[in-house]
Structure formats: C-alpha cells, structure tokens
A = this chain, B = another copy of it.
C-alpha cells in the first residue's frame, strides 16, 4: 500500500477489544467506564468512539468476539455429540457424551483463567438482558441447551420434544454455574482456597454422578 502504508488501525482495535473484554467481564455494562477501558488499552477516549461508535457498539463487539472463540472451543465436542444422536445411540452412549460436554464445559468455565471474564460477561448478560442478549442467546445458549436436552431425552428414553428434557437440561447447566458465577461463595462453603485440578476433579465426579442418576431416573 502506498502513502503511509502500514495500518495501525487493526492492532489498536484489538487492543481496545481486549481491554473491553476484561472490563465488561468484571463489571457490568453500566459500571464499566469507557475511560477505564481507554486507559487500559493505552489510547485516548475519542479513539474508542472512532473504532466502535459508542459504548454500546463496543459492548456488542465484545459479545461477537466471545461467540467466535467459544465456538472454536466447543464446536468439535458438540458436533461429535450431534453425530452420536443421528446414529441410533444407546442411552449409555448419550450419558457418555453428556459427561464429556459437562466436563469440558466445567474445565472451560472454571479452570481457564483467560476465559473467566468471558464467562462472567455471558452469565450477566443472560441473567439481566442488555444490548448483547440476542446474539449470545442464539449463538451460545440455545444450541448448548438444545444438544444437552436431546442427549438427556435419549438417556432417559423419552421423546426429544418432551419439555421435561429441557427442564433437566436447564437444571444441569445451571448447576454447573454454581462454581462459576458463584465461585466466591462456593470457595467459602467448601473451605477451598482455590479451584485447582484436585477440586475440579471432585466437581467433575459429582457431575458425573448426577448424569448417571438422570439416566436411571426415568
């Protein structure tokens, strides 16, 4: 490219986005401030407006970035589960896939430090809908619940459309969140100082027990 040539724009954009993900992760939309984000990204305030139009535009861009990376992580697992559903899998196979999904999700949400902010972002947006609700619901929550519900239906031997399957899916996913959005309180209840590999293993084993029970309960 002629002229000044080198485009610094994209790099600046990414720096702002990273700072915003951090800010909107640990604070809500209205609590986080654009100044704080601009400082963290080492840009001046108007630069932020230039790239994303408004605070709300930046917020939505964060949601899209999260969806992108979340999909990269969970897509292969979800795809394998859907393939298993297409073939006439047994109840035991469905339970196995449920355990894989729940375990991966637990590791993803609770273990990784990088993703912690994203998980907070998503959780808050889904509890108290804001400007990014629709994109998160359609791209993350809905497909996740759907595949979980279908697996549960298969495990219990009930029709896929049975509302009970969806209720159980919500209960299962929600219980996972005990150690995510309720991290602080869980630590205190369990008298843990952190959730390391040992603690994560205990949680996974409890989830597995719960999934085994779902299958047998029908």
Q: Which residues of A are interface residues toward B (Cβ below 8 A)? A: 28, 30-31, 126-127, 129, 137, 141-142, 145, 163-164, 166-179, 181-182, 184-186, 188-190, 202-203, 205-207, 209-210, 212-214, 216-217
Contact = CB atoms under 8 A, between A and B. Distances in A.
16 contacts: A127-B181, A127-B182, A129-B184, A164-B202, A166-B190, A167-B190, A170-B175, A170-B178, A170-B182, A170-B186, A170-B190, A171-B207, A174-B174, A209-B217, A213-B214, A213-B216
Nearest to A127: B181
Contact of A185 (B126, B163, B186): B126
Contacts of A213: 210, 213-214, 216-217
B175 A206 contact: no
A26 to B, nearest CB: 9
A189 B127 contact: no
A171 B167 contact: no
A24 to B, nearest CB: 13
Contacts of A216: 213, 216
A175 to B, nearest CB: 4
Contacts of A129: 184
B181 A163 contact: no
Nearest to A205: B164
Given A166-B189, A213-B216, 13 more contacts: A28-B28, A129-B184, A163-B202, A164-B202, A170-B179, A171-B175, A171-B206, A171-B207, A174-B178, A174-B182, A210-B213, A212-B217, A213-B217
B212 A190 contact: no
A171 B31 contact: no
Contacts of A28: 28, 31
